[in-house]
Amino acid sequence: MQLSQSYTLPSGVELKNRILMAPMTNFLSNDDGSVSLKELDYYARRSGGVGAVITACANVNAQGKGFEGEIGVDRDELIPGLRKLAASIHEQGSKAILQIYHGGRMCPPHLVPHNEPVSASAIAPEREGAVTPRALTEEEIEQTIIDFGEAARRAIKAGFDGVEIHGANTYLLQQFFSPHSNRRKDQWGGNVRNRMNFPLAVIETVIKKVTAHADKPFVVGYRLSPEERENPGITMEDTLQFIDVLTDQNLDYLHISLSQFHQSSMRDDHSTRPVINQIVERAGQKVPVMGVGSLYTPNEVEEALETVPLVSLGRELLIEPDWMQKIQSGDSIRTKMPKAPGEDILIPEPMWTKIMSVPNWIPVEK
């Protein structure tokens, strides 16, 4: 099967197969952002089969913390815990990639300094009860870029094999690329090219840190969401222009965040071509594209691998931690969460309650 074949990323890091664990926030870290013991168990349980585990998003500074129980990479004192996390993934036999991020205007006020979320501009997200963020100053923008670089340095020190820069799912990097949240008139906003400047500066700084600090090949991936529903909002046309530029940044992969792997445009009903195919065509041979989205069975994944070289699995690895191992052994693979899971699923509290409390977030056995 294609999914079991190894794959070498542009940096030279070799993945033993084409499957990665998608980044999933687990609400399991300690209040100070340090890694907890139950978090180590949760990751170890899901490591070993997949080529690499991409961790939950880790905030690069205090202002970027978006969830309770979120893992932090914003201080050197967190490095020892991060080292344990990388080691617990490595011990099972998978590569470890730390997702680095800033939540921007999506951060709940009580988690950030002065109860004041920040963003590109002072525009609230379109959801009930959302607060209006404060627009970052030029100086704060420069500092945030440095913070992403420092996060990459800490990931290297902690022994990770790479970082994934989280430019997707409505968080700060996407907020700069979005014409909804970015109304700036300076070098960081305005036309679509200027709206790329913040994510590009983050990528450049991260890569510089890697060059300076890594003594072996180190993965730098970038995750993005191709469209937004809002008006104005990111369109496929914007994203394809962004892909043209991203493919020249020496990245190891582009991870396209979609809820359905094969979905077509959510803004344009007349466009029926899957978004992922449009992106793969535009990226050409320059950067590998990673797909994701409601893939559960080996057949679905094999079919997806006809389009992209790499696939990440999120919810399916919550449901079936031994997904890869069971393919190899020929055992039947669970694709729905048991109502009362046994110990083997190992989703510690409060993660279990959080994910089960959102209706239909995870498919559950009848």
Please give the positions annotated as active site.
171
User: Do 72 and 115 contact (CB within 8 A), yes or no?
Assistant: no
DSSP letters for 331-359: -----SB-SS--GGG---TTHHHHHHTST
Q: How many CA atoms lie within 13 A of 330 on its CB side?
A: 0
Could you tell me how far CA 283 lies from the centroid of its own chain?
19
**Residue with Cβ nearer ligand FMN (69 or 179):** 69
In the shown chain, the binding pattern of residues 285 to 304 toward ligand FMN, with x for contact by CB under 6 A and - for none, equals -------xxxx---------
Residue 248 tokens, joined: 């020249």
For residue 350, give Cα distances in angstroms to 45, 246, 249, 316: 17, 37, 38, 19
User: Do 136 and 120 contact (CB within 8 A), yes or no?
Assistant: yes
**Residue with Cβ nearer ligand FMN (184 or 315):** 315
In the shown chain, the binding pattern of residues 185 to 224 toward ligand FMN, with x for contact by CB under 6 A and - for none, equals --------------------------------------x-
- Which range in 7-15, 153-161, 199-207, 314-322 contacts ligand FMN by CB under 6 A? 314-322
**Residue with Cβ nearer ligand FMN (46 or 184):** 46
CB of 66 to ligand FMN, least distance (A): 9
Which of 154, 166, 195, 334 contacts ligand FMN by CB under 6 A? Answer: 166
Find out whether the peptide bond into 179 is cis, omega within 30 degrees of 0.
no
Tell me if 225 contacts ligand FMN by CB under 6 A.
no
Dihedral, 316, 11, 305, 203 alpha carbons, nearest 10:
70
**Residue with Cβ nearer ligand FMN (99 or 189):** 99
Q: Read off the DSSP letter of residue 111.
A: G
In the shown chain, the binding pattern of residues 89 to 108 toward ligand FMN, with x for contact by CB under 6 A and - for none, equals ----------x---------
Q: Find where tokens 């700084």 sit.
A: 205
CB of 294 to ligand FMN, least distance (A): 4
Tell me if 57 contacts ligand FMN by CB under 6 A.
yes
Tell me if 313 contacts ligand FMN by CB under 6 A.
yes
CB of 358 to ligand FMN, least distance (A): 9
Which of 60, 196, 214, 355 contacts ligand FMN by CB under 6 A? Answer: 355
| Partner residues linked to 71 by β-bridges | 58
User: Do 307 and 317 contact (CB within 8 A), yes or no?
Assistant: no
Residue 281: CB atoms within 10 A of its CB come to: 13
Count residues near ligand FMN (CB under 6 A).
Answer: 22
Binding site for ligand FMN (CB under 6 A): 22-25, 56-57, 99, 166, 168-169, 223, 257, 259, 292-295, 313-316, 355
